[in-house]
Each structure stands twice: as C-alpha cells, then as structure tokens.
Structure 1
Amino acid sequence: MPVGFLFGGQGGQNVNMSAHLYENFPKYRAIIDLASTVLGYDVLAKLQDEAALKTTKYTQPLVVAHSFGLYEVAKDQFTVPTAALGLSLGEYTALIASGALDFVDGLRLVAKRGQLMQAAVEALPGTMAAVMTEDFALVENILAQIRENGEQVFPANYNSGQQLVIGGSPAGVEQASAALIEAGIKRVIPLNVAGAFHTPLLASAQAEFAAVLAAVDFKQPAFTVFSNTTKAPFDLATIKQVLVDQLVNPTFFAQDLALMAEQGIAEFVEFGPDNTLTKFARKTVKDSERTSIYDFASLQKVMGEEYAVN
C-alpha cells in the first residue's frame, strides 16, 4: 500500500513530548545533540521548558528537531513514502526528510524564520480562530465583507474538510466570529496563538526571509513533497519563492491530503509534536490507515516493547 508521511507544525508542542526519547533512542539523541551544536543552546532543556515552547523563535527549530529525530528513529519501519506533506512549519521537516534540504541548513533556516515571524507578530498583533464547518464559501464571503468594512481577517488554514482557521487583527477575528455564529455556524473556537500566521499581517517578515533563503541550497527530493501554498509538489525552480509566499498565504493542507489520496495513498504516518495531522487525515481521507509518532509511548508501539523507560 502506498504510504504518505505527514510532518507536524507549530501548535501541538508540549513539555512531555520529548520525555524518555533522548535516553532510549540513540538516533534521536544524535539529532538533538546536533541541533544543540547548530543552534548554540541546549535543545533538550528547551524541549522541556514551557516558556521556550510558547516562544516562536524557539518553538520552530525545537519542533523540527523533535520531528526529524522521531523520523530518523522510525523511518525504516515503513516503506519509502510515495509523498510527504507537512503543515506549515512541518513542510521544512518534510523537505529535510526527503533530502531536498540539509538538516543543518534547514534548522538554521527555521530558527531565522521563527525570529522574523516573532518580530512580525510583535509589531502587528493578531489572533486566530478555528471555524468548524464544511461551508468554506460561506466563511470566505463573510471574511470578504468584513475586510470591505476596513478590518483585517483572512482564511489561514484549510486543515480538514470540516475545519478552516481564520486569522487577522483581534477586532477583525472578533467581528468575523460573531458574524459566523449569526450565519448559523455552531462552533468558532478562539486559538491561543502568538499571531495571525499565514495572513498578510506577516508581510514584514518576507523580505529578510527571502534574503536568507537565497543562500540556501535545495536539492531534488527523494520523494514528492507537497506545498501547502500551491496545492502541488514543490519544484526546485520556484521553491524559495513559494516558501516566502507561505508566510502570508493560507495553507491548503486538506486539499493536499486529497491529492495524496488521488495518488492511491491510503496509509499515513505522522511525525511531530502531537497527533493532530492524523486526525485531519481521518476526516479528509476517511478510509485511510493512520499512525502517529509524537512521543515515547507512540514510538515504542512502532519500534517494539524492548524499549523501556530507564
């Protein structure tokens, strides 16, 4: 059966996700130690620091290091994937796993990305909310009406066939949430996030990030990696511009899942900080098989019971 690998993004990280992994899995330990050398701080300590995990400039490289460490341990338990897909930040882990991006280069890149995004959201505060509906057109129309009235609010993350995250100014998201409830949508859930990611409110980060990307070398991936931004596989000719565009454009994760299903992929394996993406897959590709690897217990199930907590 064709397999698709999924790589988690920012948002699901927690202080327990790395517990017992460093001590029990040498490949994971090697990745975390290398990350500490590259980043100049103790990555294992930061993975267990709640404040660091809530700070974008730390969160992004920490999540990539953790996710890639899990991948390095467990990848040989599965067939080579037909394709891979990451959610936002997870695209970088997917590109690293595919060989399109060197781990050290990728880690430095996401560290800079996190710094620039944190500066952008501090300069222009925003927020987000999850809208639980299948009627995306209704949401898009209401947001457009609110923008016409001068507030900033945009579609940000098409996560599954039943969830669209919106982002924008606090006033814009508040107005949109009220309007959506009035229009008959039953659940609009405010998210505890640092800013309005994947909206034009992040535009101030683009120019410097483009300059950083210009010096990074990308290679042909060993397997297809889909872009959240273009709803198509990454192409070496345009990959840098697409990653710059990703900062201010919505992610189309659900649509990419559907494209993977069209390729015959009916098994998904997730590597990341939690099991969010396989939940999205369950709602979007309903007959799929799903495995989530995000902490010691979930990795132990894949690797075997010989791995016991020290």
Structure 2
Amino acid sequence: MKTAFLYAGQGSQHKGMGEDLYRDYPEFRKVFDSAEVDFDLKKICFEDPDEQLNLTEYTQPCMLAFACGINEILKARGIKADILAGLSLGEYSALEAAGVWSYEEAIKLAAFRGKAMTRSAQGVEAAMTAVMGLTRDELQACVDQALDQGVASICNDNCPGQIVIGGEKAAVEKAAQLAKENGAKRCVPLKVSGPFHTSFMQKAGEELKDYFSKIEFSNEQIPVVFNLTGCERNESDLVEDLLTAQVQNGVKMTQTLNYMLDNGVRRFVEIGPGKALTGFVKRCAKEKGIDDIECITLESSDDLKAFIMVSEEELDG
C-alpha cells in the first residue's frame, strides 16, 4: 500500500505534547536535548507554565522538534513514506523527513520563521476564520465583496467544505457574515496571532529568503507535495522559492491531498499532535468516492509502538 506521511501545522499544539515520547524513545530525547533554541523547549512543550506554547515564535520550533523526534524514531527502524506533505509549518517537517535539512537546521529554521512571522504581523488587527459549507468560488465571491473593509483573502483550502480566510479583522468579519448569508454552515474564528498566508506576511517572506540564501538545501530523498502548488516541484522550482512564497500565499491542502489520492496513496499517517489532517483526507476521499483509505495518527508513545509493530511486520514480510 502506498503510504504518505502528513505533518501537522500550527494550531494543533497542546501542553504535554511529546512528554511520553521523550520518556520512551532515545531518538526523541536526542532531538529535544540538542535543539538550538533560546528557551526551555521541554518546559514549554511538557508544562507550558506561562502559556507560551500558543505564541507563534514558540509554537513553530516546538512543533518542528516534535515532528523531527518522531521522524528520527521511524528512521532508526527503517520506516519511511512513499510521499510527504505538511500543512504550512508542517511542510518544514516534511522537508526534514525528505533529507533536505538535518533536524538541527530544521528546528533553527522554524524558530527563525516563527519570529519573522510575529514581526510581520505587528501592527495589524488581524483575524482568521474557518468557513464550512461553501465552495472555494462561492467563498471567494464573499471575500471580494468584503474588500471595502480592508485586506482579506483565502489562506487555507483545507478540504472540500472547509476553507480558511484571513486578513484584517473588519474585512474577515464581513466576509464571514456574507458567507453565512450565502449558505455557509458555520464560520469559526480561529485563535491566531497574525494574518498568516496572506500578503501581510511579505516581510516574513523577505526575511526567510535572506535566511535561505545562507543555508544548504539537499535534494529530496522522498517526494514532497508543496503547499504553494499542490503538487511535487518541477526541476526548475527551487525549494527556497516555494517556501518564500508559501508564507505569504494560500495553502492548497485540498489539492495536495487530491494529488496524493490520484497517485494511488491509500495509507495516510499524520505525524504531530492532533487529527486535523486525517480528517481532511477523509473529506477529500469521500468527495472522490474512494473508500479504501487507511488513516493513522502518531502523537503518543502508544501510537508509535503500535505503528512500529505493524510496520516492522510488513518490512519482514
């Protein structure tokens, strides 16, 4: 069975994440203990006493360390995917799994990205809202009508029937109201600290471009489906250019998952806290009339033990 590893993005983090994995797996401990960050990674992930985990500059390196720790556990046992993808920040975890960077470099990069996005959001009264029940075209029409209130755009196309809009608060609120008037089932404001994946992240994109010019990128050892395009990159596309554009443009998760389904992927393994991505997979598969998919989430030590057992049996077989 063709297998994809999917990496969670910002928003699924929670207090206590990774504590059992740190206890049970030396590979996970090595990643956490060697992370070059300017705060106590374990304390924030495991205890979060000052509620900093939900702040972007902390969330991003914490999420990367979590994903890279699981990657190291799986790599040590020869378990790998046929194809990779991640949601927003999760794309960096996918690229680490593909061998583009070491986990040390990936965590440092996530820490830089989190701070750059925080700086880029300063001074903006921002909002992001998940809209359920409209097509992309229907929601785009609502966004267009709301632009008299400020800047807004579609920033995450998650799955059929769930799309996120973001930008200036007044414009996002008007677009959400119009969406309800035009048949949206629900509009759920998201707890965010900035208008991510919108034009307001241009400064972050510029900072990332400069950072990328100073580090090495290796070729992917496993195919990666990119947020910006919803497909694998062409030889003419540079990873650094795709990532620079990614932070300030919408995430094409629906297209990413459809690409995988169309290319025969039937087992989807979500790596990272939460189960959002496997939920998106099920919606995409249902839309296509595909009912033979398998969805697995890897968040806890017990999850890993069960998955490793099955994977090793398959490798032996």
Q: What is the correspondence of 1:1-310 to structure 2 with a 5 Å cutoff? A: 1-35=1-35, 38-48=36-46, 49=48, 51-75=51-75, 80-147=80-147, 149-235=148-234, 237-286=237-286, 287=291, 288-303=293-308
Q: CA deviation at 1:211?
A: 0.5
How much does 1:282 deviate? 1.2
In structure 1, runs of 5+ residues without a counterpart are: 305-310
Q: Which position in structure 2 is the counterpart of 1:307?
A: none
Report if aligned partners of 1:229, 1:250 keep a CA contact under 8 Å in 2: yes
**Structure 2 counterpart of 1:218, one-letter code:** F
Q: How much does 1:40 deviate?
A: 3.9
User: Number of residues paired by the alignment?
Assistant: 301
* Separation (CA, whole Å) in 2 of partners of 1:205 and 1:174: 24
Displacement of 1:266 after TM fit? 0.6
Tell me how far apart the structure 1 counterparts of residues 96 and 144 of structure 2 sit (CA, whole Å). Answer: 36
Percent identical: 31
1:52 and 1:229 map into 2 onto residues whose CA distance is 29
Q: What is the CA-CA distance between 1:24 and the residue it aligns to?
A: 1.1
- Post-superposition Cα deviations, 1:218-274, rounded to whole Å, max 9, x if no partner, equal 111111001101222135642111111111100001111100111111111111121
1:301: how far off? 3.0
Distance 1:182 1:134 in 2: 11
Q: Is the 8 A contact 2:135 2:160 kept in 1?
A: no
Report the Cα distance in structure 2 between the residues aligned to 1:158 and 1:18, rounded to whole angstroms: 28
User: Residue 42 and residue 235 in structure 1: after superposition, are their counterparts in 2 closer, same or farther (change >3 A)?
Assistant: farther
**1:270 to 1:249, Cα distance in 2 relative to 1, 3 A:** same
Q: Describe the SS at the equivalent of 2:269.
A: strand
Aligned residues of 1:17 and 1:296 also touching (Cα < 8 A) = no
SS of the residue aligned with 1:248? coil
SS at match of 1:137: helix
CA deviations over 1:110-139 (Å, ceiling 9, x no partner): 111100101112232311010112421110
How far apart are residue 42 of structure 1 and its match?
2.5
Amino acid at match of 2:177: A
Q: CA deviation at 1:75?
A: 4.9
Q: Highest relative contact order (Cα 8 Å, sep 6+), 1 or 2?
A: 1
Contact 1:32 1:43 (8 Å CA) reproduced: yes
Which shows bigger deviation, 280-289 or 78-87? 78-87
Moved over 4 A (4+): 75-79
Assess, with a 3 A threshold, how the Cα gap between structure 1 residues 78 and 143 changes in structure 2: closer, same or farther: farther
Cα drift, residue 156 of structure 1: 0.5
Matched residues in 1 for 2:204 and 2:175: separation?
25
Provide the C-alpha distance between the structure 1 equivalents of 2:63 and 2:79, rounded to a whole number of angstroms. 24
- Tell me how far apart the structure 1 counterparts of residues 161 and 254 of structure 2 sit (CA, whole Å): 9
Distance 1:125 1:224 in 2: 38
Q: Which residue of 1 aligns with 2:315?
A: none
1: CA distance, partners of 2:234 / 2:68: 22
Q: Does the Cα contact within 8 Å between 1:3 and 1:79 map onto a contact in 2?
A: no
1 CA distance for matches of 2:90 and 2:81?
16
Quote the offset at 1:76 in angstroms. 6.4
SS of the residue 1:266 aligns to = strand
Amino acid in structure 2 at the alignment position of 1:272: G
C-alpha contact 1:266 1:285 (8 A) present in aligned 2: no
